[in-house]
Structure 1
């Protein structure tokens, strides 16, 4: 089987294939970095979106100070690819995870982790202490998402004091992720609610400093809120990730701030009726947790999965009549509704410029959920 090479036309790709418009992606990265350069806030992009050390290195070259990852297994992939300054944004609990973390910290001491409980902090302290190490930790705060995180204020201060008594943990910052606000379509509401979350985060950080804790990092913010976060005094860094490629869910919330740079290339394989065609991209190619993908450049046509391997394209308006302008063998690009979960379905990025493949990147952290 022929393997696509740099320099090939996109026409050589078998489908479904995940393709990246380099001009659009580079524009997204440059635009975001420019927005934060003037705000005195650092960018630590969340790499759970791109899942690729190749892309992480591009983000570092553009001005990022490091990266975020969600899981220890993602951190293992990123450090192997040369990314050292990582924040693992999910609590690490249980002997298997702690053992893997200790192995990472022995070789990569810049890795930072979050804690939100005394139990978790004690287990972490014991694990790193047994290896003769120390771990830099951030206190994870619940700023409204009601997922993980200690309650801002007195509960957080009490937890910080207990962490302060643990010999092998160094409390250096706080994290508060307002994920529940990322996709609110009303900009004013998104901004107001984000400000409430930032107030809880920064006030707690200041209380901790007053109590004697050297809080250096106050980290927060996703693609939908990062600019609001950065305008709030006390925030030191933001964690956007989806901006690199975007998806329809973020586009619908933010408008045309960033471009949809990644699509899934598919092929029409059947035409059961004049107003419906079948493509070779189904549930194994496009995630649907945030809605349906959209055919690029075909605003009047809707996509619907028809099983693992198949998808249907038909008129978006059920009252529309006439033949679809698609024939068997035609190629169709689809814009994902949720970029992170769609990327996790694919092995390879094919990055192109002017219709020719310029780079091929493995999705090295695909499936890294531990």
Structure 2
């Protein structure tokens, strides 16, 4: 059985395979880190995108101060891979999760979590107290996404006062994620609404400090808004993740700010008609909740899923004369519409430079949803 090796050409890969253009990825990382270095804002990339300690270490080497994860199980993978300074950006609720968190924080005390309720904070404090462990927390604010988070202002102040009475959790900051603004195409609207969200976040941070609470961290921002957030002087760190690889959804919102460095390599396995071909990459290889993936370099050809294992490519007869004919056996790269969920469908990154494999990274945190 063939197993790809570093040094092999891309042509040796079976399909579908998830491939990374290392040069483009490196350019994306350098470009983002330089932008925030100039703004004097820390970068804490969200690792739910890359799902890999190897890639997290590359981000740390480039200047990141740590990482974000969405779930305790992701934190376990990253901590085992040597990533110590982690923020779990989703509330940790329920006895099984709290027991896992206690074990994790005992071994990796720089891990931080968010809270947005008295009930959640009390359960967290009780779990930590029973294990004689302490943990730093951030208040999660609702800055307009209407997902998790307490309201800015008085509601956040009330929660901070309640947290101050707990012995094993310590308030160190606030988080406000404006996820609903990430993909707004109009830059003026995205900027205006993001500034409103940042005002709610930073004013609450100032109110908490005025009441004597030690707010050291004000964290926010995804790939679509991080640069806008960083223009607000009170922001201490941003949490972009998708910039590493990008996808068509972010590209359509941001333009050519970062390159599409990750694609799914597939093979044409059938051509039933002159205007329809079938590839071996379907719903098990490409996510579609943010739109259809884009055939790279094939303008005028549209993709749609044909089931779990198949993708259908179509084009018009009028466009056929201007297109390079597709034949059975041809290999096509697809740019995902949503990078995070597409990566979660694959076990392995095949990273190449100039068409030759330079690294093979396992997607270690794939499926870590707990």
Fold-level match, TM-score > 0.5? Answer: yes
Equivalent pair of 1:268/1:280 in contact (CA under 8 Å): yes
- Aligned equivalent of 1:196: 196
The within-5 A match list for 1:177-188 is 177-188=177-188
Looking at structure 2, the residues matched to 143 and 356 of structure 1 have their Cα atoms a distance apart, in angstroms, of 45
Looking at structure 2, the residues matched to 179 and 201 of structure 1 have their Cα atoms a distance apart, in angstroms, of 14
The within-5 A match list for 1:191-230 is 191-230=191-230
* 1:278 match: secondary structure: strand
- Aligned equivalent of 2:294: 294
Q: Does 1:8 align with 2:4?
A: no
**How much does 1:320 deviate?**
3.8
- Aligned equivalent of 2:98: 98
Looking at structure 2, the residues matched to 7 and 169 of structure 1 have their Cα atoms a distance apart, in angstroms, of 49
Q: Does 1:121 align with 2:121?
A: yes
Equivalent pair of 2:54/2:361 in contact (CA under 8 Å): yes
The within-5 A match list for 1:1-370 is 1-315=1-315, 320-322=319-321, 325-370=325-370
Equivalent pair of 2:275/2:317 in contact (CA under 8 Å): no
- Give unpaired runs (5+ residues) of structure 2: none
Q: CA RMSD in A?
A: 0.9
Looking at structure 2, the residues matched to 271 and 169 of structure 1 have their Cα atoms a distance apart, in angstroms, of 61
Looking at structure 2, the residues matched to 195 and 228 of structure 1 have their Cα atoms a distance apart, in angstroms, of 7
Looking at structure 1, the residues matched to 109 and 11 of structure 2 have their Cα atoms a distance apart, in angstroms, of 45
Deviation by residue 1:198-222 (Cα, 9 ceiling, x = unmatched): 0000000000000000000000000
**How much does 1:318 deviate?**
7.9
Looking at structure 2, the residues matched to 321 and 329 of structure 1 have their Cα atoms a distance apart, in angstroms, of 19
Looking at structure 1, the residues matched to 169 and 329 of structure 2 have their Cα atoms a distance apart, in angstroms, of 59
Equivalent pair of 2:121/2:163 in contact (CA under 8 Å): yes
Looking at structure 1, the residues matched to 314 and 361 of structure 2 have their Cα atoms a distance apart, in angstroms, of 33
Equivalent pair of 1:33/1:63 in contact (CA under 8 Å): yes
Looking at structure 2, the residues matched to 56 and 36 of structure 1 have their Cα atoms a distance apart, in angstroms, of 18
**How much does 1:325 deviate?**
1.3
- TM-score, L = length of structure 2: 0.99
Looking at structure 2, the residues matched to 71 and 216 of structure 1 have their Cα atoms a distance apart, in angstroms, of 23
Looking at structure 2, the residues matched to 321 and 219 of structure 1 have their Cα atoms a distance apart, in angstroms, of 50
Looking at structure 1, the residues matched to 177 and 320 of structure 2 have their Cα atoms a distance apart, in angstroms, of 46
* 2:39 match: secondary structure: coil
Looking at structure 2, the residues matched to 68 and 115 of structure 1 have their Cα atoms a distance apart, in angstroms, of 15
- TM-score, L = length of structure 1: 0.99
Deviation by residue 1:134-154 (Cα, 9 ceiling, x = unmatched): 110000000000000000000
* 1:234 match: secondary structure: coil
* 1:60 match: secondary structure: helix
Deviation by residue 1:21-77 (Cα, 9 ceiling, x = unmatched): 000000000000000001110000000000000000000000000000000000000
Looking at structure 2, the residues matched to 47 and 264 of structure 1 have their Cα atoms a distance apart, in angstroms, of 20
* Alpha carbons of structure 1 residues 79 and 318: separation in structure 2 relative to 1, 3 Å: farther
Equivalent pair of 2:47/2:56 in contact (CA under 8 Å): yes
